[in-house]
Every structure is written in structure tokens, then in C-alpha cells.
Amino acid sequence: MKTVELLTPEAIKDTRYLAHTRIVGERKETETLLAHSDLTLHYLAIYCDQKGIENITKDLIKCCGFSDEEGEKVYQLFCYAIYLHDFGKINPRYQYQVLENKDFRLMIRKANNSHHALASSYLYIDYMYQVLLKNPSEAMKKCLSAFAYCIYKHHGELGDGSQFSKLELWDEEYFQSVLDESVFEDIQYYMQESKSIKDPVSFYILCRLLYALITGCDYCATEEFMTGQPVQPMVIQNRGEDLKQSYDESTLVNSIRQFHKDPKTFRGTPINALRNEIFIESEANLKENPEAHIYYLEAPTGAGKTNMAINLSLRVLEIDPQINNIFYIFPFNTLVEQTKDTLLPFFGDQIAVVNSLTPVVMGGDGEKDNYEAAWLDRLFNNYPIVLTSHINFFNALFGCGRERCFPLLKLCNSVIILDEIQSYKNSIWREIITFLQGYARQLNMKIIIMSATLPQLDLLLKTVEGKFVSLVKDPQKYYQHPLFKGRVHLDFSLLEKGKITIEELKDEVLRFKDKRVLVEFIKKKTAREFFELCKEECHAVLLTGDDNGARREQIIKRINNGEKMVLIATQVIEAGVNIDMEIGFKDISLPDAEEQFLGRINRSCLNTSGAVAYFFDLDNEEVIYRGDARLRYSVRDVAIRRKVEEKRFDEIYAQVFADLIAKTSMANKMNLAYLDNDCVQLNCKRIEDQMRLIDQSYQLFIPYIWEDLNGYDVWEEYRALGMNRDMGYAQRKIEFSRLALKMSYFTFTVFRNKIPYGVEEYGGYYFIDGGEQFVTDGVLDRTALEEFYGGMFL
């Protein structure tokens, strides 16, 4: 923030006005409104310095269609919004009633209420007309209204821009506006106006960035006053030289480099030679295209994409000196933990996992004084390298609450690894790639999208403004290699028979009961029925989403130790579970799912003959995958079957994309044009709802005894923690995060609109008493649960 100078309103200069108070020992200390405003501006300067916010903001303003001259004024409007976010605290009733400022005891009659956020937005508009705006254009009025709306919402959540119609001229004695009432009518109008902004997505990102800065800088400034501890954004130092050295000196990378120099000297397995080739090609293509915004990494299952992602993220640090954070985004927590184990030897304490199951990282010795700093780091994802879920990532891009927006500041000038993007709802793929293109281009995010069945999502864009680069130029070169293509033989003989019964399927499966067999169903209920049918005749093990993490890890370890079993599972096995089975049986669903399933069979490529995957048709996949555009392209169709066998997913996606484009171009609410309107009108709540990856769900807490854990004791511990009023907010949140893993052993998700009457709810969990009758060996019996509650969980 080297080029902007801001004026300070006379009212804020008045040191009688306070922003915060704190108790130190037995003494009350105060912070003036001027000191807080200046400290907030100081944190803006820190983010400009550490995360390149100034250049990012100015580029966003330019993309919105402003000339250089107008752009400078809009940038000042942007900075003033951060500086003046608490201007409304001059409200005498706020000073006296909230801050107990006795200087205003006789003045409280000048205000009708003690609010300050809406007042701040009103005062901001008034001051901007006094010191900055002379005959503003329609586009500048649009920015002024949107920026004021962000101030209005800085202690709540962004909603839809139409909410700002509540703004009105108050007859408050503590402040009288010099503006004509028509100015405020304009403000209400321009929140709805959509023609003056050239690029709606850039405008939406600009406003979200402002909201993240208003709330984030305010939070950091307040924490510094309250705790005496300044906040510093954690970034990768020296372009990651230490990280690269640790990684480049590893045995694995040395082997790859030696292979690159002379493939003839390579003494490893053939599959590793092939992995090395993909590794080297992807790195070379990245370096040849340093200006790209989004990179595709398409490689077969088992090609070593995790190792390639580590390497590529480090090479991005080399080619772009502005990049100083790394984010790995995964659809499943199992993938997060596996990747963390892979990264730890290279990156050590530079890594932090941010998800619902992992305790907050504590600095120092864990004393009470560090709780606030540790919780702030968690909220802001304030670590050099972050491993997190796609839910958290989408919250940063689209969430309306201020704590959801905080990580957006760290995503600026970062490399983002997106894994298994095909698992995202394809009904919103066009919206996803539209936003990803905008965010990557405007915030200088280098996004690497990787998958074994990678959809080239830029083909769905109305206009391609970012640069997309494929890191593997001819994926078929690798897909058609015998080590990948011939690793598993696909057998459709059961599918040719039409619908099959579980009794018929049992006879087929038990032919291989002395091997490691994987049987995948699309319904949990069917998987359990098949397990009950088989368990007396073979060594059967059940693994679905209705089992706890510890049990899953035990089963995976047993498989990897070579134990023979018939593993009966659901889609939970498709991605993120590192197992190597000999024979597979799968109920057909989507082409991507069939390929992910194949990745669990003969994963090591050591079985040179006899690895077979049989496909059958039992349950109706439309019930589970309702609304998925890929349902029309099932392996029931011989042509689609052939494309799956030949790994030609691009040809399948060409058909899927045509359907999606047609659907989102029709004259209805699915039309992509509505997205532009929502962006420019700042309908944030509507966008958040549209971009939600998972439908509404409920968390059931079902206690039982698991090894040395008693679910009833865990529940009481959770309730006691929630009701502990002697514990500070930050400490309580951290203690909750430490309890989360134990809670997860007894937590099950249901996607329903209704919970049975009388079920106890506390802290977002629904307590189901008598868990022993519903859970056996760590696996939920949904049938028993449904029968007990009369089908309420069906």
C-alpha cells in the first residue's frame, strides 16, 4: 500500500471515541477508534506486502472496466472501506452501552440504537462524497454501494445485495448528512444495476476480497489489541529453497533424475520407469508454460500423481516468485491423511491439516496465552502449506460468513492442487470452471487439477480468458501402455445377463474366496445384505461410509499385509483408499466410478495375469446419482463400454459437456447468464447455495463401546466442553478440535430433511441413545435404525 494516502474524518480523530476495551489484571485498558482504524490499515499494508494484495486489487478493478484515472479512485474507495469499517462506532449509544464509555452518558438520547455496522456504511458513503467523489460515473456508484454493503455486513454474513435496500437516511442527532436523499436512493438502485460492470465475475471477486480484508484486518487488529500479540501471515520463505533441497535430495527424486539422464541405467520396475516418464514430461511442460493459470494433470490410476503434485508445486515456486503458499485440496479426509504422511518427510512442520477431524496446530508449549494465536492461524489457514478439503476451499471462494472468507487472503499468490475434481457435482461444472478461471487469473492462483479421468473443463466456458495447459500432452500414450491398460481385464459377461440377484452374485464371488476380492455396491443397504449372505461361507469384511476411521485403517492395513478376504464395500473405496486387490466385482454406475474402481485392482501391476474386474447390474444408480449428467453414458452401452476399456474418457466427456452446455443455455434458471447477474448484484447467498458441493445433511451421534473408547463418555465430554463458561472462546474451539477425532468414531451422516421427534440435539449433533443395538463392530446397521424409528432415516 505504497501509493494511496487516506484522509481521516475529524470524528475519528476525536480520542474520546473508543473502539475496544480490555481487562489487564484489575485494570481496564482502552483503544481509541483512531488507533484501531490505523492498526486495521496497518494489517492491510502487511497483506499487500506479503500476499501482493495491492496489485491484485488494481488488476481486478481494471478488469471491471475502469480507466486508469477512475481505477485509482475505485482503489481509494476500496482502501477507505477497510479504514472506515468501524466509523459507526461514533454512535454515542454504542460508546456508552457497549463500551461503557462514560463520556457519552448524557449523549445517548442522540441515537435510537447501539448499532454501528450499518451506521459505518452510511458514514462511509457520506465521507466518500465529501473527499473523493465528484460527479461519479454509474460504475463508480456501483462500487460505492457494493463496498458500503460489505461494511454493513462485516459483523454478520454476506447475503444478497437487495438486502441493502434497508439503508435509509436516519434522523440521528449524532450525525447529520450533507447529502441529498436522492444519493441514497441511488445507492439502493445501483445495488441492483448490472450494466456498468464489464466483467461480473471479477467484480464479485473484488467485493469478496474486500469483505475478507475488512473482516480479516479488523480481526487481526482486534486480536493484537486484546492479546498484545501481532499477527504475521505465514508464507513460504526464499521461494521454498529449503523445501526443494529436502525433496530433491530424496532417494526417489534422485532415482527419477538419474532415469532422465540415462534411462538405460534404470534398475527399477517397469511401472516405475513409466511413472518417471510422466513425472519428467509434466515438469517440462509446466516450466515451458509459466504464465498459465490452470494446469491439467491427467494420468492413469497408479501413475504416482501425488509425487508429481509435490514436484509441480515446488517448481511453481521456482517459475513465479510471487507464489508463496501451497494448498492441497482433497475430496476425502482419507486422502488428506495419506498425503500428509507422504509430505511430512520433506516439509515437516511447514504443513498443517485443516479439516473437521484434525486438532488445531498449537505453537509454543500450548499454554493458555497461545490459544488465541493458534485459533487465528486455523481460521486464516495461516500456515505455509495447507492440506484441506474441497468443502473448506469452496467456503473460501463462495462462503458468506466472515470466518469462511478469511482463507481467501492466503489463497492469493498460491499454488492450488485440486485432486479428484470429477467427484464435484457436474451439474455445476460450468459454474465451477468459470469461477476457477476468474480466481486463478485475478488472484494469481496457479491451479493444478489432477485426475485419472480428467474432464477438460475449459471446454465448458462461454469465453476462455485464462490460459489452460495440459501437463501431459498425449495421455493416451500412457493409458494405452500395457502396464496400465492391461493391468486389469474388464469382464462384462455378468452385465450381459441383465439384472442380477445377490444370490447369483454370491455364487460368482465365492469362486474366488481364497483371493483378495473387492465387491462394490452403490447402496449401503445392499452391501450389508450381501455381507450377511456371505459371511458364513467366506472371510467377508464390510467397509462402507458407515464405519469409523480407525476400523477402516485396520482393514486397509490387513489388506496391505496380504490378508485374503472378500471386501464388501461402497463408493467409499473408489478414491483415497490405497489397497491392491486381485479380483473385483462392481455394480455399474458412472464411467468415472468404473475407472476409479479399477484403480483398486492390481494397483502394483505385479499380477501379470488373472487380475479381472467383473461388472454387474443390481441396484438402480439413478437413485444415488440423481441429476448426474454422466448417467446417460453407462457401460450398459457397448460403445461407452469400449471407451472405458480404452481409457478414452475425453470422448465420453465430449458428450457429457454437450448435454451440460445445452442444459445451462436454456431459457430457465439453469442458464449460465443468471450467474453473471448474481455476481454483479452481489447475490452472495444465492451463489453460495448454488455452489454448495454437498446437500443438506445431519450428523447422528450413536454411542457404543469401541475398543477402549466409550461413546457415552465422549458425548458427555463434548457436552461439558460446550457448557464450560470458564474457558475462553479460542480455547474451547481448540479443545473441540482435539475431541473431533474421538467424536468421529460415533458420528454417522444422514441426508434427510427430517429428524425423528424427541431426538436430543446439541451443538449440531443428534444423539441416538442405545447405540449398541444399531452398531456392530464399528459398522452402523441402518436397517435396525430405520426399523426402530419407523423408517425416518430411509
Residue 449 bridge partners (DSSP): 296, 418
Q: pLDDT tens-digit profile of 182-205?
A: 787 788 788 878 788 999 999 999
Query: Structural domains in the chain?
Result: 10-227 (1.10.3210), 237-479 (3.40.50.300), 484-646 (3.40.50.300), 698-788 (no CATH)
Q: What CA–CA distance (Å, rounded) separates 763 from 279?
A: 46
Which residue, 250, 247, 258, 249, is CA-closest to 280? 258
Average of per-residue pLDDT across 245-266:
91
Q: pLDDT tens-digit profile of 113-145?
A: 888 999 999 999 999 999 999 888 999 999 999
Q: Give the CA angle between residues 81, 83, 88 to the nearest 5°.
A: 80
Q: Among 147-161, 221-235, 476-490, which stretch is predicted with the lowest mean pLDDT?
A: 476-490
User: How confident is the model at residue 173, as a pLDDT?
Assistant: 86
Q: pLDDT tens-digit profile of 412-463?
A: 999 999 988 888 888 899 999 999 999 999 999 999 999 888 789 999 998 8
**How many angstroms separate the Cα of 2 from the Cα of each of 137, 216, 375?**
26, 20, 31
**What contacts 341, CB < 8 A, 6 or more positions away?**
none
Q: What CA–CA distance (Å, rounded) separates 746 from 666?
A: 45
Average of per-residue pLDDT across 91-96:
94
Phi, psi of 565 (to 5 degrees): -160, 165
Which residue, 480, 458, 484, 482, is CA-closest to 470? 458
Residue 366 — very low, low, confident or very high, per pLDDT cuts 50/70/90?
very low
User: How confident is the model at residue 3, as a pLDDT?
Assistant: 60
Is pTM beyond 0.85? Reply is yes
Kindly tell me if the per-residue pLDDT of 793 is higher than 60. no
Residue 794 — very low, low, confident or very high, per pLDDT cuts 50/70/90?
very low
CB-facing half-sphere around the CA of 403: CA atoms within 13 A: 5
Phi, psi of 347 (to 5 degrees): -115, -15
Q: Mean pLDDT over all residues of the chain?
A: 90
Q: What CA–CA distance (Å, rounded) separates 591 from 588?
A: 8
* Residue corresponding to grid cell 515437516: 348
Average of per-residue pLDDT across 252-272:
89
Kindly tell me if the per-residue pLDDT of 623 is higher than 80. yes
Residue 752 — very low, low, confident or very high, per pLDDT cuts 50/70/90?
low
Q: Is 634 helix (H, G, I), strand (E, B) or coil?
A: coil
Q: Residue 651: which H helix or E strand, with range?
A: helix 649-663
Average of per-residue pLDDT across 223-246:
93
Q: What CA–CA distance (Å, rounded) separates 541 from 567?
A: 5
Residue 470 — very low, low, confident or very high, per pLDDT cuts 50/70/90?
very high
User: How confident is the model at residue 392, as a pLDDT?
Assistant: 93
Q: What CA–CA distance (Å, rounded) separates 272 from 315?
A: 21
Q: pLDDT tens-digit profile of 584-620?
A: 999 999 999 999 899 899 887 777 677 999 999 999 9
Please state, for a pLDDT cut of 90, what percent of the chain lies above it.
Answer: 64
**What contacts 494, CB < 8 A, 6 or more positions away?**
500, 505, 508, 585, 614, 615, 616, 617
Answer yes or no: are the C-beta atoms of 302 and 600 closer than 8 Å: no
Average of per-residue pLDDT across 318-342:
87
User: How confident is the model at residue 265, as a pLDDT?
Assistant: 81
Q: pLDDT tens-digit profile of 697-739?
A: 788 899 999 888 999 999 999 999 999 988 988 899 999 999 9
Residue 497 — very low, low, confident or very high, per pLDDT cuts 50/70/90?
very high
405 against 271, higher pLDDT: 405
